[in-house]
A and B are shown apart, each in its own frame.
Chain A
Amino acid sequence: MRTELPGHQHEWLDDDAGPVVRPYTLTGGRVWPDGNGFDLVAYVLARPDPDLAAYPELHPEHRLLVELAGRGTPLVELAADLDLAVGVVRVLLGDLLSRGLVSVHQPPRATYLPDNDILKAVVDGLRAL
């Protein structure tokens, strides 16, 4: 389990690095956390009553994420709400996941062939709009 966030170490910033953009300070330059390819519509659900005080290393954005995911929210909506790039949110979610603060539910792989009842519900729903 990661105990320290790279965002707190800045040795990767050298003179060539140019201005640091907030998202990259947040993730410490991490773009894609360890093999985490959370889908754009992966469903993120915060654990109820999370004890955020136990994790002083978390950034305010982590905390906002936990709050926003309280009712279960797809990743892309979290990114839009926080005005952060999707890749940054993936990294932050990786941090929260490793601390057990959220669960992330990937959509089923076979989503492109959902069963007929679902397709029918979609067509009916669209017609009724």
Chain B
Amino acid sequence: MDSVRYDAERRGHVPIALKILIAGGFGAGKTTLVSALSEVRPLQTEEILTGAGVETDDLSGVETKSTTTVAMDFGRITINDDLQLYLFGTPGQDRFWFLWDELAFGALGAVVLADTRRLADCFPSIDYFEQRGIPFVVGVNCFDGSRRFSLDSVRRALDLDPEVPMVLCDARDRQSGKTVLISLVEHVARQRGEPVSAI
């Protein structure tokens, strides 16, 4: 039967899934960017939040009283049969830091969305990725009606490392989002010392 052969072929063959984080302050456009880029409907799932429950080995269930969940956006881009990108929007609030660790583990890199009306909101994201050595780029999200700043002045305000790429973007626009992702992957490649871009 066809399906059996298919299964047999697939066994032992595990496609690569690369994680990319979309971070930034509250309302910076994370969900918008994930949905603009995702090939499927914007996907959402939840992660469990507990007080002590996550840390303890004794999972007798007593802690479940304080259990709540936090929603996570994610999207998928299929590059080919063997390679997929998974985009994860990070939750905006500080009390969800533990979730960041889970999202960031093994991630290829991150996009930090900066909203020029509230630049300081993305500082915690930048600190987070800098401290962990996770490659990131900054997408300066141009909201309608916000004052235009030069990329240089934004870079200074963010006190960014000169190597960290900055890209103007519109999180609603797929092409614009693609440009941000490409600059991230090229940045990751440069960190390896092997540029992937022809130019």
Q: Using a CB–CB distance below 8 Å, which chain A residues touch chain B?
A: 6, 12, 16-18, 21, 23-24, 28-34, 39-41, 43, 45, 48, 70-72, 74, 76-77, 79-80, 84-88, 105, 107-109, 111-114, 116, 118-123, 125-127, 129
Contacts and interface: CB of A to CB of B under 8 A. Distances in A.
B194 A116 contact: yes
A31 B65 contact: no
Closest 4 A/B residue pairs (Cβ): A29-B61, A125-B79, A87-B48, A41-B17
A122 B188 CA distance: 11
B168 interface: no
Contacts of A21: 67
B93 interface: no
B59 A126 contact: no
Contact of A86 (B17, B48, B83): B48
B69 interface: yes
Contacts, number: 160
B54 A111 contact: no
Given A39-B105, A88-B48, A111-B19, A123 B134 contact: no
A105 B46 contact: no
Nearest to B76: A77
A30 B186 CA distance: 41
A45 B9 CA distance: 12
Given A71-B10, A72-B15, A109-B106, A29 B48 contact: no
Interface string B187-199: 0110010101100
A119 B185 contact: yes
A26 B43 CA distance: 23
A16 B85 contact: no
Contact of B108 (A86, A111, A126): A111
Interface residues of B, number: 62
**Max chain A C-beta neighbours (<10 A), residue from B50, B64, B85, B182:** B64
A41 B10 contact: no
A111 to B, nearest CB: 4
B106 A116 contact: no
Interface string B45-78: 1111010011001011111110101001010110
Contact of A76 (B14, B54, B67, B74): B74
B103 interface: yes
A41 B19 contact: yes
B158 interface: no
Contacts of A116: 189, 192, 194, 196
A24 B192 CA distance: 44
Interface in B145-199: 174, 178, 181-182, 185-186, 188-189, 192, 194, 196-197
Nearest to A35: B57
Contacts of B88: 40
B95 interface: no
